[in-house]
Amino acid sequence: MPSGMTDEDKKRQLDSRDIKPTAMRELVLDVLSRQTAAIGLPELEAHFEKADRTTLYRTLKTFEEKKLIHKIVDGTGTVKYALCSETCECEPDDLHVHFLCEKCGKTYCLYDIPVPTINLPHGFKLEGVNMVINGICASCRK
Amino acid sequence: MPSGMTDEDKKRQLDSRDIKPTAMRELVLDVLSRQTAAIGLPELEAHFEKADRTTLYRTLKTFEEKKLIHKIVDGTGTVKYALCSETCECEPDDLHVHFLCEKCGKTYCLYDIPVPTINLPHGFKLEGVNMVINGICASCRK
DNA sequence: GTAACTTTGCAACCCGGTTGCACTTCCTTT
DNA sequence: AAAGGAAGTGCAACCGGGTTGCAAAGTTAC
Ligand SMILES: [Mn+2]
Ligand SMILES: [Mn+2]
Ligand SMILES: [Zn+2]
Ligand SMILES: [Zn+2]
């Protein structure tokens, strides 16, 4: 999800997910689209001089509800978020694996590694999966 | 991991993991061994009249370091723990899948569902996996 | 019995997340 | 254009799980 994205692109992206494109939201989407790793609320906050934590919090919440971004619980204590792919509906079939680097602390979407199918015991109903691998990332190993 | 466990059993279990068997630790192990679902610090606290949060916290920490229990991050905001199987060394091969029920909030170890093998991109080193499925559990569906 | 080490208890703190409420902005209706 | 309502924003206060520092109590080694 790289950055070459005009303001118009962003408006359209928000629009396609039924999110009213306010100034704040465009700024947040801009930050999100520049990330190579997932980002949490505290880190997002640090990208702004004067923005309020609550607003950012609620922006992320809206984005998540509208499936513009997805949540990643990596066990670091901060919930992280990353952009969904264009077609993602956050259904079990859309899900991919995540990777948390113990060294740099970054959490990556492995967009092209789908979460493996699991056969649950009888009677269990699957709604979602959070799969996070931890280890050392490629950059930190070099 | 049901309960039929004598005090001697517990001492032996602690001993086998190189944990000095204090009174507190035996009590905590006792509670842990009675659970059918993973348990977090706040819930563990509630099982005791007068025990201190810090002590329980550190007991869990010790237990985890010594691989008597393993941690489960299920995204509820509370880290949960469950007993490891006798032979578990918490290596990638020992890991199993977990299930969080949206309805009752309980988190279960699916001890006999191993975490599937993942082929990471080149350069990534895998050290562990946290795989949590969420949905509705068998009892809540009935 | 004394010294060294470990465990426990209490208090205080940290930090991410969340809520209530007032103010502003935007949009619709007249 | 004015009025009214809905949606978004900012601030402050709060919550809860987790964590640390430090002193007291218990254990072990000599
Ligand atoms: Mn992702
Ligand atoms: Mn487990
Ligand atoms: Zn790294
Ligand atoms: Zn349930």
The partner residue sitting opposite B99, judged by closest CB among A79, A124, A131, is A124
pLDDT in tens, chain A (142 residues): 445 678 788 899 999 999 999 999 999 999 999 999 999 999 999 999 888 999 999 999 999 999 999 999 999 999 999 999 999 999 999 999 999 999 999 999 999 999 999 999 999 999 999 999 999 999 999 8
Chain C bases near protein CB atoms (7 A cut-off): 6-12, 15-20, 26-27
Query: What's the pLDDT score for residue B8?
Result: 81
pLDDT confidence of residue A142: 82
Interior/surface letters A5-44, b for 16+ CB within 10 angstroms, e for the rest: eeeeebeebbeeeebeeeeebebbbeebbebebbbbbeeb
- Distance from CA(B53) to C1'(C12), angstroms, rounded: 14
Residue B98 · residue B112 · CB < 8 Å: no
Rounded distance between C-alpha atoms, residue B32 and residue B63, angstroms: 11
Q: Is B137 exposed, middle or buried (0-12, 13-18, 19+ CB in 10 A)?
A: buried
Q: Is B104 on the interface with A (CB under 8 A)?
A: no
Burial class (CB in 10 A: 0-12, 13-18, 19+), B29: buried
To which H or E segment does residue B60 belong? helix B53-65
User: What pLDDT is recorded for position A4?
Assistant: 60
Residue of chain B with shortest Cα separation from A136: B125
Distance in angstroms, CA of A15 to C1' of D25?
A: 64
Q: Are strands B125-136 and A125-136 parallel, antiparallel or unpaired?
A: antiparallel
B97 touches chain A (CB under 8 A): yes
Q: For residues B96 and A106, give the distance between their C-alpha atoms in angstroms, rounded to a whole number.
A: 24
**pLDDT value of residue B5:** 77
Distance from C-alpha of A23 to C-alpha of B109, rounded to nearest angstrom: 45
State the Cα–Cα distance between residues B10 and A129, nearest whole angstrom.
Answer: 35
Chains A and B: how many Cβ contacts under 8 Å? Answer: 108
Q: Are A129 and B133 in contact (CB under 8 A)?
A: yes
How far CA B23 is from CA of A103, B51, B70, in Å, comes to 37, 12, 21
Neighbours of A52 (CB within 10 A): 11
The H or E element containing residue B104 is none
Residue A40 has phi, psi (to 5 degrees) of -105, 170
Q: Does domain B7-141 have CATH number 3.40.50.2300?
A: no
What's the pLDDT at A38? Answer: 98
* Domains in chain B: boundaries: 7-141
CB contact under 8 A, B131 and A129: yes
Q: Which residues of B touch A122 (CB under 8 A)?
A: 138
Please report, in tens digits, the pLDDT of each residue of chain B (142 residues total): 444 577 788 899 999 999 999 999 999 999 999 999 999 999 999 999 888 999 999 999 999 999 999 999 999 999 999 999 999 999 999 999 999 999 999 999 999 999 999 999 999 999 999 999 999 999 999 8
CB contact under 8 A, A113 and B118: yes
Q: What pLDDT, on a 0 to 100 scale, did the predictor assign at position A9?
A: 85
Q: What does strand C contact on the protein, if contact means CB under 7 A?
A: A 20, 22, 40-42, 53-54, 57-58, 61, 77-79; B 20, 22-25, 50-55, 58-59, 77
Q: Are A36 and A2 in contact (CB under 8 A)?
A: no
Of A79, A127, A135, the CB nearest to B126: A135
Nearest residue in B to A75, CA atom: B73
Q: What is the Cα–Cα distance from A11 to A55, expressed in whole angstroms? A: 19
